[in-house]
Structures are given as structure tokens and as C-alpha cells.
């Protein structure tokens, strides 16, 4: 996977907090070809635990995380668009984050890594797009945390984007949303293996905390209906009648599996930093923040799923209302799907079609804007 050093000591990254990062590497993938006018690029922002591998195969043969949406002939058509997907700032899949070294060969950041805001993701995304020669994006697209980044981008720099696609996202977490994240962080922070964030040096791993965080999150990613459909009260091993504290029910096996595979690919410090950005995200708290998007004419597409209880349709409708109140152009659709929040990653009737149609409304164009 390509990695580019976008910021260094000569040209450090200034964060929204005013703090600076003197070394930022960004891992990314691209698919398709940038056209001569530099305006057929679609920028994909991944969710909390995603990565740059939007389509595969990965080095270990596994598929990418959004094969249903991206590829030749898919809604985000790599025969037509130049698709860019980086790992985000603060992540742990190739882009600089809290478990990276402060400088080449230096010590690991740990909890000394500066706190991030949604705008920081956008700053780095913009720099990557410019680095790749993009003049103006045809679209930025993202689900969940990815959708929140797209919203921030469109509000702060609408001239960069012709289309903004915001899927299963929120402009302001509820107390319950924050509570779930708070418990997850607490499980990580209190795991002795976390070692005050120095586990990269001690060789310990906060595997219990990260497992608990992931298992709990997975409950919120699936609708109750989908869990009942997939697992019900089925026993993992038929014939069980006892009731110990191990894995008796199929749903327990599912959670344990999700936890284990997560440990192999995700980092505890990134979990803390990225989830906290979501808690604080509240762009519409700034009066008139959507006015420029309306002026520039960025087209928004906001999509929710009817069984999503992590970010239910109310979250999307709030985004729609705020945008419409500012005079922006907004398409909204609630997609019927039984799979809950996870729906944004799945092959759901009408969902892919909605994205395809929205991106096709206007082809790559020639007027205005620039990254």
C-alpha cells in the first residue's frame, strides 16, 4: 500500500487545537484513473475501525471492507471515477496515530499524542487529494464516522466537493451514544495491559479492554431484529443443557470471534482518540456553518437505515434539517434494511442504487472550486 509523508518538520501539520505534528505519514489506496481535468475523483472516508483497503484483495487474501460499493461497474465505479481511500489521522493502519513513533526511530507517542478534532481528518484528507493532483472532488463519501468527516469537509470547504454522501452518520452524538463509547474507553484505560498507553514499549497488550469495547460496539452495530434472526437463542454446540460461564449461545461465539479478530487489526490508543473525536463533533453548533455549502452549490445526499439504532434516522434528519435551513441542496433517503448500523457496509436493496444515481446526476464537471 502506498504511503506518503504529507507533513514533516519543515512543513508541520497544524491541528485545529493549534498543536503541531511534525511528522504525518498517510497510507492510502487508489483505484481507477484521474482524468485530465482532475475532477473525477471520489474520496472515501472510512469509519471508526476501517482502513485504506476499500477493495481487496489484501496481502492476506481477505477482501476490502466496501466491495459492495466500490469497483468496476459498482456504484462508485472505478472504471469511471478515480477512487481515493486513506487511513485516517490517528488511525493504526499505516497513517500516523498515537501508537506511531514521534519521529523516525523515536519513541512512541502514546497518550502524549495530541487530541484530534474532526477538522483534522479533513485537513489531512485535503492534503492527500492535492498531492494526488485532484482539482475538485466529484464526491466525498463515508459511512458512520466517515460520513461525519464528509459533513465536516463539506461545511468547511464546500468548494472542494461537488457531491457529499453522508451515510448512517450523526452531526451530534446523544448521551447514549457517548455513554457506549465512554464504557468502551474505560474498559481499555483500566486494562492493566494498557500500561498508561505505553503498551507499545512494555510488550503488554490491552486485549481485554479492546475485546470488551469491540463486543459492546458490535451489539450496537446490529439491530435487535438482526441478532434474533442470525442467532436467536441457538446453542453454539447442540445438545448443551448446562449453563456455565463459557460460550454457550451462538451469539456469545459471534461476539468472541469479533473480539479476537479485532485484536489482530486494531489499536487501543487509536480507539480512544478516534472515538473521542466523535463525542465532541457538533458542527452545527456554529451558527451559519452551512451557508457557504449552499452558496457554492455542493449537493448533499444523506442516507439512513430504518433499523439502525446506533445512529437512527433522527440523526440523519437533523443533518438534513440543518442543511435545508441554510438553503443547501439535499437528497435524503431512509433505506429499509434489517441489519442495523452495519447496513452501510452491506449489499442492501436501494442503498447501492441510491448512491449510484446520486453520483451520476452530474458527471465530472468543469466549473468552479478546487482542493
Q: Which residues are annotated as a binding site for substrate?
A: 214, 342
Residue 54 has which C-alpha cell?
Answer: 476499500
368 binds a copy of itself (CB under 8 A): no
Residue 264, CA atoms < 13 Å, CB-side half-sphere: 5
Q: How far is the CB of 226 from a copy of itself (least distance, A)?
A: 9
CA quadruple 66, 149, 340, 253: dihedral, nearest 10:
70
19 binds a copy of itself (CB under 8 A): no
Nearest to a copy of itself of 135, 276 (CB atom): 276
Q: Can you list the positions of beta strands (E) in the chain?
A: 3-7, 13-14, 20-21, 24-31, 41-45, 70-71, 76-77, 82-86, 137-143, 161-167, 299-305, 329-335
Return the residues of window 213-272 that contact a copy of itself according to CB under 8 A.
215-216, 218-219, 222, 224, 227-228, 230-233, 242-245, 248-252, 255, 272
109 binds a copy of itself (CB under 8 A): no
Q: Pick from 62, 106, 133, 280: which binds a copy of itself (CB under 8 A)?
A: 280
Distance of CA 221 to the CA centre of its chain: 14
Measured in Å, how far apart are the chain's first and last C-alpha atoms? Answer: 23
Binding footprint of a copy of itself, residue count (CB under 8 A): 51
Residue 217 has which C-alpha cell?
Answer: 460496539
228 catalytically annotated: no
Contact 235/248 with Cβ under 8 angstroms?
A: yes
171 catalytically annotated: no
With CA atoms as reference, report the closest residue to 218 among 165, 247, 261, 267. Answer: 261
282 binds a copy of itself (CB under 8 A): yes
Return the residues of window 24-83 that contact a copy of itself according to CB under 8 A.
none
155 binds a copy of itself (CB under 8 A): no
- Binding residues vs a copy of itself (CB under 8 A): 111, 115, 117, 172-176, 178-180, 182-183, 185-187, 189-192, 208, 211-212, 215-216, 218-219, 222, 224, 227-228, 230-233, 242-245, 248-252, 255, 272, 276-277, 279-280, 282
Residues that are catalytic: 144, 308, 341
Amino acid at each position: 500500500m502506498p504511503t506518503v509523508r504529507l507533513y514533516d518538520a519543515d512543513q508541520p501539520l497544524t491541528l485545529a487545537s493549534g498543536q503541531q505534528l511534525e511528522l504525518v505519514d498517510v497510507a492510502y489506496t487508489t483505484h481507477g484513473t484521474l482524468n485530465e481535468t482532475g475532477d473525477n475523483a471520489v474520496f472515501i472516508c472510512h469509519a471508526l475501525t476501517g482502513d485504506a483497503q476499500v477493495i481487496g484483495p489484501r496481502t492476506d487474501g481477505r477482501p476490502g471492507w466496501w466491495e459492495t460499493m466500490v469497483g468496476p461497474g459498482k456504484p462508485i465505479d472505478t472504471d469511471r471515477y478515480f477512487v481515493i481511500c486513506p487511513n485516517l489521522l490517528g488511525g493504526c493502519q499505516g497513517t500516523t496515530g498515537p501508537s506511531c513513533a514521534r519521529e523516525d526511530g523515536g519513541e512512541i507517542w502514546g497518550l502524549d499524542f495530541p487530541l484530534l478534532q474532526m477538522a483534522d481528518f479533513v485537513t489531512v484528507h485535503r492534503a492527500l487529494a492535492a498531492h494526488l493532483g485532484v482539482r475538485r472532488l466529484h464526491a466525498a463519501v463515508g459511512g458512520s464516522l466517515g460520513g461525519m468527516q464528509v459533513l465536516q469537509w463539506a461545511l468547511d470547504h464546500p468548494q472542494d466537493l461537488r457531491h457529499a454522501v453522508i451515510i448512517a452518520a450523526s452531526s451530534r452524538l446523544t448521551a447514549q451514544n457517548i455513554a457506549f463509547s465512554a464504557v468502551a474507553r474505560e474498559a481499555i484505560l483500566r486494562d492493566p495491559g494498557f500500561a498508561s498507553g505505553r503498551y507499545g514499549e512494555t510488550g503488554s497488550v490491552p486485549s481485554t479492554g479492546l475485546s470488551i469495547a469491540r463486543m459492546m460496539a458490535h451489539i450496537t452495530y446490529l439491530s435487535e431484529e438482526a441478532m434474533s434472526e442470525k442467532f436467536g437463542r441457538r446453542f453454539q454446540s447442540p445438545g448443551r443443557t448446562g449453563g456455565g460461564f463459557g460460550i454457550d449461545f451462538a451469539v456469545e461465539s459471534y461476539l468472541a470471534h469479533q473480539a479476537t479478530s479485532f485484536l489482530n487489526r486494531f489499536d487501543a490508543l487509536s480507539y480512544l482518540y478516534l472515538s473521542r473525536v466523535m463525542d465532541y463533533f457538533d458542527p452545527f453548533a456554529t451558527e451559519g456553518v452551512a451557508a457557504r455549502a449552499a452558496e457554492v452549490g455542493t449537493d448533499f445526499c444523506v442516507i439512513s437505515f430504518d433499523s439502525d439504532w446506533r445512529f437512527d434516522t433522527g440523526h440523519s434528519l437533523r443533518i438534513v434539517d440543518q442543511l435545508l435551513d441554510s438553503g443547501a441542496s439535499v437528497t435524503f433517503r431512509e433505506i429499509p434494511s434489517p441489519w442495523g448500523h452495519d447496513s452501510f457496509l452491506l449489499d442492501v436493496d436501494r442503498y447501492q442504487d441510491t448512491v449510484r444515481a446520486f453520483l451520476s446526476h452530474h458527471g465530472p464537471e468543469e466549473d468552479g472550486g478546487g482542493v
